[in-house]
């Protein structure tokens, strides 16, 4: 790759919570492009920005405390740094936590790239009485240190000017150099020739820092592309050091901090300015009683908003989809093409957009919690509970959101730092009983438990309550099992910064939520649309020509009758419903439903419910409308009396009723545990970066659901229920 | 045997003596500025007793007790 022809790339790096994204948005004007780093599931946000006479590509690198890496995700910062067209780095440092932020800046400066340090939140630092001599810092670091307030867009012009200068050839003058212990320097000297054989493109002046990076990063890592020769050399050096009673990690890190302590002693006033406002807020928000209470209220608020607050918008989108379908049906001539447009394409687009309200809401909430600093406290308060099943405190909000819908909840796992912790959460949370399962429960409960009671309670209420309790227990158990089997490794550590409380910017919240939604619409949306069309085809083809002819003849007969128009119309509608029922039986999906009946019979279902389950893959609640078609009722919802009656009247071949309280419970448990949701599959594909994880998710949930339903149904029969 | 960070009374200042845990964690803690000689103070305990919150190098960091138990400290004499 030639760096001279492509647009110069400028990275924005910094600690988490340092205001990096705010600065990125301030510099880019919000016009970001969201893509993916190659090979890892980390999003790459970038924007083309005009700087003086030239264009630059500004890249927002994920927040980090150090360049040290032990996983491919952490490695991407180093990779981005060594890309041929990377010309400079803006290192954003929170002026109120100077040492830790400058530790990263120092590493970047050591690496040889041109660095501009943006000292952010200078206003907060000044309020705390912290005096920072930025000119002295510039001198000592050998890189420009520019005070900014990203939220108020202060200092941006100075920053742009400094950046333009840093992009000039020979921009970096006298750089900061850390003095390391003599033994370490000799280790580095030994390692440089080995590293040079690997990094043939790296300038000789940067090999030293690369050798340091290898010493600190390699060993127990999962980094890609590191030659064995380098690994062996690093291992030998580290082992020899241990023999001498040395700790290489400590030597490198403490030398850097010692250098920083010295520099900061010259350029800053020294004291510990604990933000008093945050202290006061924390006294309330992490209070043993009040804190837990507020926690519960906030979490309930999110839950309520996702569950009930999004409902009108979701209904509106559904009505709009219905309206569009009716319009298309009126315009297009009846036939396969009309069906494709109405039931495939428009329904598919509807299936995608219907998630928008919950995704936007959840990400506005999470953005608010994260940017205000409360999300870290949520994790702090609830970690004790999550730790028991091997989850991180930050898994709580995604799990809770799972009660509303797994799609935004899976997207919300991105607040969890480590990939393994994120995957465990993502793979367990679709077991949370989402709102799309509720209509299925209601239909079943209304069908088999109508008017029955268990002691003081109605049988239906007990059944519903049991489903929700069971879902929580199974989710936590699944997380614990997945953590120990499929994704083994050290338990998640909980090393989490508690940032000072800050008031989030509405514009940034909106921008980020909108970006999340756009990513979903494009990446997961295309998969959902394709699957909707596929499902439509499966349940529509092939059609039986015999049936079509019979019904056409019947239709002609009804139209020629002398009865009143209204009566005729009703007869025609009923005829349409019956034809649809017969045709769906002939379709691939219908045949499949028949074919799997022997498998479904032991868990108490018949082929009609089998077709319903296939249709429910589009979305769980579609189970009901599919059954409406299968039973020849036409459009139906969960409160539909004819559908409930049809279900009660349904008989197996031996004349026994299909729907009994026992098979009803079996059906509810199947829906609770099975991954009957292509959108979940699509979003897990998007967020995990491969088809492997959604395939695993679908398989384990389906097996779990089948086994659980089998145990309930067979066990229940043995005990004399049903 | 030095006391560990997990045993430090609330508000008591101390200096880190050593960090003795798996390499990834110790490296991460050190890179976040928890080095031998660094002053720390436990400022808060979560409502359910774990994790705890520290004040170190002008910022607040929370750790589980199990992790804090691997950090040995020398308490400073309080006046």
Residues 6 or more apart in contact with residue A192 via CB below 8 angstroms: A207, A208, A211
pTM: 0.84
Sort B39 into a burial class: Cβ within 10 Å, 0-12 / 13-18 / 19+. Answer: middle
User: How far is residue A163 CA from its own chain's centroid?
Assistant: 34
Rounded to whole angstroms, the Cα distance separating A76 from A217 reads 13
The three-point CA angle A217-A220-A224 to 5° equals 65
- Which value does ipTM take for this structure? 0.95
List of chain A residues with pLDDT < 50: 1-4
> Do A391 and A477 form a contact (C-beta atoms < 8 A)?
no
Alpha helices in A434-492 (DSSP H): 438-448, 459-484
**Per-residue pLDDT tens for A623-644?**
888 888 888 877 778 888 888 8
Chain B CB within 8 Å of residue A453 CB: no
Question: What is the number of alpha carbons within 13 Å of residue A155 lying toward its C-beta?
Answer: 22
Strands A86-94 and A9-14 turn out to be parallel
Task: Check CB contact under 8 Å for A383 and B64.
Answer: yes
What residues of chain A lie within 8 A of the CB of B64, using their CB?
A: 383, 387, 493-494
Which 8-state DSSP code applies to residue A651? B
Residues 6 or more apart in contact with residue A645 via CB below 8 angstroms: none
**Per-residue pLDDT tens for A569-593?**
888 888 888 888 888 888 998 899 8
Rounded to whole angstroms, the Cα distance separating A120 from A19 reads 7
pLDDT (average), residues B20-29? 91
Rounded to whole angstroms, the Cα distance separating A667 from A439 reads 13
pLDDT value of residue A271: 62
C-alpha dist (Å) from residue A224 to A70, A210, A212, A277, B75:
10, 15, 18, 44, 43
Q: How far is A100 from chain B (nearest CA, A)?
A: 6
Which of A270 and B29 is assigned the larger pLDDT?
A: B29
CATH (domain of B69): 2.30.30.90
Task: Check CB contact under 8 Å for A99 and B29.
Answer: no
Minimum CA–CA partner of B29 in chain A: A495
Minimum CA–CA partner of A384 in chain B: B50
pLDDT value of residue A40: 66
Among residues A600, A594, A720, the alpha carbon closest in space to that of A670 is found at A600
Among residues B75, B79, B47, B50, the alpha carbon closest in space to that of B62 is found at B50
Rounded to whole angstroms, the Cα distance separating A663 from A660 reads 5
What tokens does A553 get?
A: 């003849």
Rounded to whole angstroms, the Cα distance separating A14 from A34 reads 19
Rounded to whole angstroms, the Cα distance separating A419 from A434 reads 24
Give me the count of residues in chain A.
722
Q: Which residues pair with A89 in a beta bridge?
A: A11, A115
What tokens does A588 get?
A: 């691939």
Task: Check CB contact under 8 Å for B32 and A97.
Answer: no
Chain B CB within 8 Å of residue A97 CB: yes
> Do A375 and A397 form a contact (C-beta atoms < 8 A)?
yes
Q: Can you tell me which residue has the tokens 């339903």?
A: A709
What angle, 0 to 180 degrees and rounded to 10, lies between the N-to-C axes of helices A248-267 and B23-31?
10
What residues of chain B lie within 8 A of the CB of A493, using their CB?
A: 25, 28, 64, 67
Q: How many domains in chain B?
A: 1
Rounded to whole angstroms, the Cα distance separating A559 from A552 reads 11
Minimum CA–CA partner of A289 in chain B: B47
Task: Check CB contact under 8 Å for B64 and A282.
Answer: no
C-alpha dist (Å) from residue B20 to A243, A447, B4, B76:
17, 61, 11, 21
Minimum CA–CA partner of A495 in chain B: B63
Q: Which H/E stretch holds residue A44?
A: strand A43-51
What residues of chain B lie within 8 A of the CB of A96, using their CB?
A: 58-59
> Do A250 and A183 form a contact (C-beta atoms < 8 A)?
no
Rounded to whole angstroms, the Cα distance separating A378 from B48 reads 12
Phi, then psi, of B62 in degrees rounded to 5: -110, 145
pLDDT value of residue A158: 95
Minimum CA–CA partner of A278 in chain B: B60
Mean residue pLDDT across chain A: 88
Residues 6 or more apart in contact with residue A361 via CB below 8 angstroms: A305, A306, A309, A310, A408
C-alpha dist (Å) from residue A210 to A198, A223, A474, A590, B32:
11, 14, 47, 62, 21
Rounded to whole angstroms, the Cα distance separating A650 from A645 reads 9
Q: Which H/E stretch holds residue A11?
A: strand A9-14
Among residues 238-257 of chain A, which lie with CB inside 8 Å of chain B? Answer: 249-250, 253-254, 257
**Among B22, B46, B57, whose Cβ lies nearest the Cβ of A380?**
B46
Rounded to whole angstroms, the Cα distance separating A718 from A161 reads 80
Residue ranges of domains in chain A, CATH in brackets: 9-167 (3.40.50.300), 182-267 (1.10.287), 290-432+473-506 (no CATH), 519-718 (no CATH)
Q: What SS3 class is residue B14? A: strand
Positive or negative, the CA dihedral A115, A120, A122, A124 is: negative
pLDDT value of residue A573: 83
Q: Which residues pair with A86 in a beta bridge?
A: A9
Rounded to whole angstroms, the Cα distance separating A12 from A18 reads 11
pLDDT value of residue A520: 87
Q: How many CB atoms lie within 10 A of CB A351?
A: 24
What tokens does A464 get?
A: 């519903």
Full residue range of the structural domain in which residue B30 is found: 5-75
User: How far is residue A277 CA from its own chain's centroid?
Assistant: 32
């Amino acid at each position: 790759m030639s760096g001279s022809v492509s647009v110069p790339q400028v990275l924005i790096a910094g600690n988490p919570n340092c205001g990096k994204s705010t600065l990125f948005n301030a510099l880019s004007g919000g016009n970001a492009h969201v893509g993916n780093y190659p090979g890892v599931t980390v999003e790459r946000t970038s924007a083309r920005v005009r700087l003086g006479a030239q264009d630059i590509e500004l890249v927002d690198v994920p927040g980090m405390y150090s360049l040290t890496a032990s996983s491919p995700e952490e490695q991407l910062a180093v990779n981005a740094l060594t890309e041929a067209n990377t010309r400079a780095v803006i290192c954003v440092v929170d002026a109120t936590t100077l040492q830790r932020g400058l530790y990263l800046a120092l590493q970047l400066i050591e690496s040889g790239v041109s660095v501009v340090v943006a000292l952010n939140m200078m206003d907060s630092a000044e309020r705390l009485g912290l005096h920072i001599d930025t000119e002295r810092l510039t001198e000592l670091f050998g890189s420009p240190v520019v005070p900014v307030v990203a939220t108020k867009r202060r200092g941006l012009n100075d920053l742009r000017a400094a950046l333009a200068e840093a992009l000039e050839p020979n921009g970096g003058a006298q750089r900061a150099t850390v003095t390391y212990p003599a033994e370490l320097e000799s280790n580095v000297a030994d390692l440089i020739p080995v590293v040079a054989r690997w990094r043939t493109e790296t300038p000789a002046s940067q090999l030293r820092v690369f050798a340091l990076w290898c010493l600190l990063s390699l060993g127990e890592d999962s980094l890609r592309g590191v030659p064995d020769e380098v690994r062996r050399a690093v291992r030998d050096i580290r082992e020899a050091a241990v023999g001498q009673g040395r700790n290489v990690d400590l030597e490198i890190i403490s030398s850097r901090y010692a250098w920083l302590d010295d520099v900061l002693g010259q350029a800053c006033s020294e004291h510990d300015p604990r933000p008093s406002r945050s202290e006061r807020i924390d006294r309330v928000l992490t209070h043993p009683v009040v804190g837990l209470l507020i926690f519960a209220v906030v979490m309930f608020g999110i839950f309520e908003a996702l569950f009930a607050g999004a409902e009108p918008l979701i209904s509106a989108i559904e009505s709009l989809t219905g309206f569009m379908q009716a319009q298309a049906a009126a315009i297009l001539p009846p036939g396969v093409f009309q069906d494709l447009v109405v039931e495939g394409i428009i329904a598919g687009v509807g299936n995608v957009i219907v998630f928008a309200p919950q995704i936007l809401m959840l990400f506005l909430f999470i953005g608010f919690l994260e940017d205000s600093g409360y999300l870290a406290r949520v994790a702090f308060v609830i970690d004790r509970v999550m730790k028991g099943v091997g989850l991180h405190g930050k898994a709580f909000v995604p799990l809770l959101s799972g009660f509303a819908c797994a799609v935004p909840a899976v997207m919300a796992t991105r607040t969890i730092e480590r990939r393994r912790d994120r995957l465990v959460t993502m793979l367990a949370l679709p077991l949370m009983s989402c709102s799309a399962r509720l209509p299925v429960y209601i239909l079943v409960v209304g069908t088999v438990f109508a008017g029955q009671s268990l002691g003081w309670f109605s049988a239906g209420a007990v059944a519903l309550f049991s489903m929700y309790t069971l879902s929580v227990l199974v989710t936590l158990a699944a997380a614990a099992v997945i953590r120990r089997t499929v994704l083994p490794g050290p338990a998640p550590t909980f090393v989490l910064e508690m940032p000072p409380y800050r008031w989030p910017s509405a514009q940034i919240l909106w921008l980020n939520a909108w970006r999340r939604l756009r990513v979903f619409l494009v990446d997961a949306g295309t998969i959902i649309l394709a699957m909707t069309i596929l499902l439509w085809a499966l349940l529509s083809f092939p059609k039986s020509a015999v049936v079509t002819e019979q019904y056409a003849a019947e239709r002609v007969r009804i139209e020629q009758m002398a009865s009143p128009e209204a009566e005729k119309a009703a007869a025609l509608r009923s005829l349409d419903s019956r034809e649809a029922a017969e045709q769906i039986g002939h379709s691939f999906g219908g045949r499949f439903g028949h074919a799997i009946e022997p498998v479904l019979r032991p868990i108490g279902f018949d082929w009609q419910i089998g077709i319903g389950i296939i249709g429910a893959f589009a979305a769980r609640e579609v189970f009901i409308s599919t059954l409406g078609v299968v039973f020849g009722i036409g459009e139906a919802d969960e409160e539909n009396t004819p559908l409930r009656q049809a279900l009660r009247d349904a008989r197996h071949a031996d004349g026994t009723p299909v729907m009994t309280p026992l098979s009803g419970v079996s059906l509810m448990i199947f829906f609770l545990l099975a991954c009957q949701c292509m959108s979940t599959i699509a979003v897990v594909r998007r967020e995990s970066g491969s088809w492997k994880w959604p395939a695993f998710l679908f398989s384990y949930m389906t097996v779990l659901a089948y086994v659980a339903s089998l145990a309930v149904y067979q066990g229940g029969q043995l005990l004399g229920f049903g | 045997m030095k006391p560990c960070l997990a045993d430090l009374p609330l508000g008591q200042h101390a200096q880190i003596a050593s960090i003795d845990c798996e390499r990834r964690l110790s490296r991460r803690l050190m890179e976040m500025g928890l080095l031998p000689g660094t002053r720390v103070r436990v400022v808060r305990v979560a409502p359910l007793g774990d994790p705890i919150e520290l004040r170190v190098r002008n910022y607040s960091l929370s750790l589980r007790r199990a992790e804090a138990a691997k950090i040995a400290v020398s308490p400073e004499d309080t006046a």
